[in-house]
Chains A and B, each alone.
Chain A
Amino acid sequence: MPTRAFNGGVHPADRKDATSAHPITRAPVPEVLRVPLSQHLGAPCSPLVAKGDRVVRGQVTGDVEAMVSAPVHAPVDGEVTDVGPVVLASGARVVAVSITPDEVQEFDRFEPVERSESVPETVRAAGIVGLGGATFPTSVKLQPPKDMPVGTVILNGCECEPYLTCDHRTMLERPGRVIRGAELIAKAVGATRVVIAVEDNKEDAAVALRAEAGPGIEVLVLPTRYPQGAEKQLIWAVIGGEVPHGKLPAATGALVHNVTTAAAVADAVDEGRPLMERVVTVTGNVRNPGNYLTLLGTPVEALIEAAGGMSGEYGRVVAGGPMTGMALADLSVPVVKGMGGIVVLDSGDTAPAVHGDQPCIRCARCSDACPMMLEPYAIGIYANRSDWDGANRFHALDCIECGCCSFVCPTRRPLVQLIRRAKQVLLEKGASL
């Protein structure tokens, strides 16, 4: 089937070999879990438990009456030892429920969520959010606006970020759950076509999915190129639709969900399983890189220890992938729903820090690489001068912050960083998106 190539993109060394052959194993239970009540985009949850309460695995610990939100569940049996602020990987301070787990845990047993006839309601109750990293509440995406009928559900198995293999392993080890999730999502939104998109560096995952896929589910292999898994670029590749400026992706008639999210949807609907844990790729300069099924709220440092600890020099420790993830200032931050990886970057692989204002030599690599067909160099120059109107004229708000421009810049101009700043200011000023 023909697919459409998006503009530009880059080919970073993917470094997936270190973990792609490692089956998912369960990370040990840490001494204490700190489970944030805001692990999603939208309204933070209010705590439903207090210090001293006993909780069981699967119990709701936080929820809120809001459309765009997702409840949080206890990942273990244990005792609530604190309800208080915690700092996330992003630097945000949110309320978290600290749980000291019991000595013995039975992972197969959990308090199931209330299952209703409505898939979105069950998904909401299970606390499922976009597990590719966006963390937008999945239940909301399953109820698209009435005037935007969804014809195609696209499952995103591209995993175009270097180093990460958690989606790859999920597709390989749980293809049936991914397919089942795809069917449930398609039914919920009334889609007639289901496409699972995988980059061609994961042919084995495509084979595994095809073996399980019933009629009406296409497994589409796309060329490996970052950011193939970005929502707008993926929709373009699969159905040839451009998400119009300022509109929801659903305006194209396509809805994108991550493959791991789909598996979680299947588990919620079929077993009543809430989202209590996720697969995290721990890789880079650690002794035992691998894919670890990690309880939400596990401190990153405990997870790194579980992977054998850091080895050798490291440049930055990144939560998420190296192109869009966040460098951690503090390794005690908890693993959250959207954290697909911990990458201990070798100092030799880490992008050098930028000192001062390096000149743009107008090589045009940033414009050529931009999947949104922006001119990052120009937005960067305007943002550097605090000329926000200029940045807006060059469509700064359309930037998807994939980082290709900064990645290719031979003078190491902090382009996506400048554009982020411009977006922030423009949104504060209320510029029309």
Chain B
Amino acid sequence: MSAAASPTRMKVASSPHIAVRENVAHIMLWVVAALAPATLWGVWNMGMVAVVLLASCIGSSVGTEWVWNRIVRRSQTLWDGSALVTGLLLALVLPPRTPWWMGVAGGIIAIGLAKMLFGGLGWNLFNPALVGRAVLSVSWMGVLADVRPFPGGWHSVIDVPATGSLDAINGATRLAIATADRAAGGGYGIDLAAYYQPLLLRNLEGSFGEVSGLLLILGGGLLIAKRIIDWRIPAGYIATVGVLSWVFGSDPVFSILAGGVLLGAFFMATDYVTSPMTRAGRLVFGCGCGFFNVVVRLFGPMPEATTFAILFMNGLVPLIDRGFAPRTFGWVKRRG
């Protein structure tokens, strides 16, 4: 008998004895990879301010988690990468003019208030990055509403297609103009179709992560293809925004491309912790996000409704999980 078979050296555990290699850090790295093109394109176009914003949001998010774990004497959880993703997402939903100290405050709120206070990864009810943005936007409304394009950037060495310029109009985004225009009941004063291309390729008005809708779609598509996110959430979200905008007389394509819809649908609403656990529930959740996004955008006081639509639906997730529990194989009725 070989020495290797000595009983004292046997390793025992209950089945299954094999498992996927994928862990939380791998998943988070794929999310970072999916966001990288949009992020880098944002940095390229906005320059140093974007770097400062990224550094402040990510640094404070990761730092807050580290400090929290130290204070409550839990083992460090930074290597799961979730704080990094929260910091990155927070930076991407803030406008580039956001001062660095506000990014730091957002990170502390996102991780400290919305995540660690609830028990850390897996226990938070609301999307941490969106809680960060929500608190900042109600605290410094003027700052976050200032989405004028940031002059500068590092793109001058190549020829970038020019955007339709509305820069002169008081810093309002096209989305804000379109909304105000509709509210005035006068139809569109501007031709929204002309903005499809800049919104897809290079749009400097809005949050830092919204420079290119195309890159967000590609990143989201990567996550769907890798089966990291479920297509039902972005599909339900985007389809609902399109259909509902059309019903209310808006341009559906413009409504999808403008504002935070793409970033929200692919990267925010799909956050595992704060989205439903069943396939049917995820479709309902996505549609609900789209519904509130359009309703708040068209009838609420703020043009940018993604944050609040998703946060509201986050709060409904426990109900959705119960209401759309699957029917156990062999049972006639659903659980619940």
Which residues does A use to contact B, with CB under 8 Å? 6-7, 12, 162, 232, 236, 242-245, 247, 301, 304-305, 309-310, 314-318, 322-332, 343, 345, 349-353, 359-364, 367-368, 371-375, 377-378, 393-395, 398, 401, 403, 406-412, 414, 416-417, 420
Partner of A327, one of B11, B325, B331: B11
Which of chain A's residues has its CB closest to B271's CB? A362
Which of chain B's residues has its CB closest to A412's CB? B19
CB distance from A412 to the nearest CB of B (A): 7
Q: Are the C-beta atoms of A368 and B279 separated by less than 8 Å?
A: yes
Tell me which residues across on chain B come within 8 A of A304, comparing CB atoms: 5
Q: Are the C-beta atoms of A420 and B14 separated by less than 8 Å?
A: yes
Separation of A267 and B61 alpha carbons in the complex (Å):
69
Q: Are the C-beta atoms of A361 and B122 separated by less than 8 Å?
A: yes
Tell me which residues across on chain B come within 8 A of A350, comparing CB atoms: 11, 17-18
Q: A323-B16, A359-B122, A363-B272 are in contact. Are A411 and B4 (CB under 8 A)?
A: no
Interface of A is mostly: loop
Which segment of B20-28, B103-111, B238-246 sits at the interface?
Answer: B20-28
Separation of A356 and B51 alpha carbons in the complex (Å):
38
Q: Give me the 5 closest cross-chain CB pairs, A-B, nearest first.
A: A403-B16, A359-B122, A351-B19, A373-B326, A322-B17
CB distance from B258 to the nearest CB of A (A): 30
* A–B Cβ pairs within 8 angstroms, 29 of them: A162-B18, A242-B329, A243-B330, A245-B330, A304-B5, A316-B10, A316-B13, A316-B17, A323-B18, A325-B17, A327-B11, A328-B10, A331-B5, A345-B18, A351-B17, A359-B121, A359-B123, A360-B122, A363-B27, A364-B230, A364-B276, A371-B329, A375-B278, A377-B277, A393-B335, A398-B328, A409-B19, A410-B20, A411-B24
Interface of B is mostly: loop
Separation of A349 and B121 alpha carbons in the complex (Å):
27
Partner of A372, one of B26, B27, B329: B329
CB distance from A85 to the nearest CB of B (A): 17
Q: A372-B328, A395-B335 are in contact. Are A309 and B2 (CB under 8 A)?
A: yes
Q: Does B252 contact A (CB under 8 A)?
A: no
Q: Does B1 contact A (CB under 8 A)?
A: yes
Separation of A277 and B22 alpha carbons in the complex (Å):
40
Q: Are the C-beta atoms of A245 and B331 separated by less than 8 Å?
A: yes
Q: A327-B12, A410-B23 are in contact. Are A351 and B18 (CB under 8 A)?
A: yes
Separation of A350 and B21 alpha carbons in the complex (Å):
10
Q: A359-B122, A373-B327 are in contact. Are A301 and B17 (CB under 8 A)?
A: no
Tell me which residues across on chain A come within 8 A of B5, comparing CB atoms: 301, 304, 310, 331
Q: A245-B330, A330-B10 are in contact. Are A416 and B277 (CB under 8 A)?
A: no
CB distance from A284 to the nearest CB of B (A): 10
Q: Are the C-beta atoms of B4 and A408 separated by less than 8 Å?
A: no
Q: Are the C-beta atoms of A407 and B335 separated by less than 8 Å?
A: no
Tell me which residues across on chain B come within 8 A of A232, comparing CB atoms: 329-330
Separation of A398 and B330 alpha carbons in the complex (Å):
8
Separation of A374 and B334 alpha carbons in the complex (Å):
11
CB distance from B30 to the nearest CB of A (A): 11
Q: Does B63 contact A (CB under 8 A)?
A: no
Separation of A277 and B276 alpha carbons in the complex (Å):
50
Q: Does B15 contact A (CB under 8 A)?
A: yes
Q: A318-B15, A326-B14, A330-B10 are in contact. List 8 more A-B contacts (CB 8 A).
A: A245-B330, A318-B17, A322-B18, A323-B17, A327-B12, A331-B5, A377-B277, A407-B20
Q: Does B7 contact A (CB under 8 A)?
A: yes
Separation of A67 and B335 alpha carbons in the complex (Å):
36
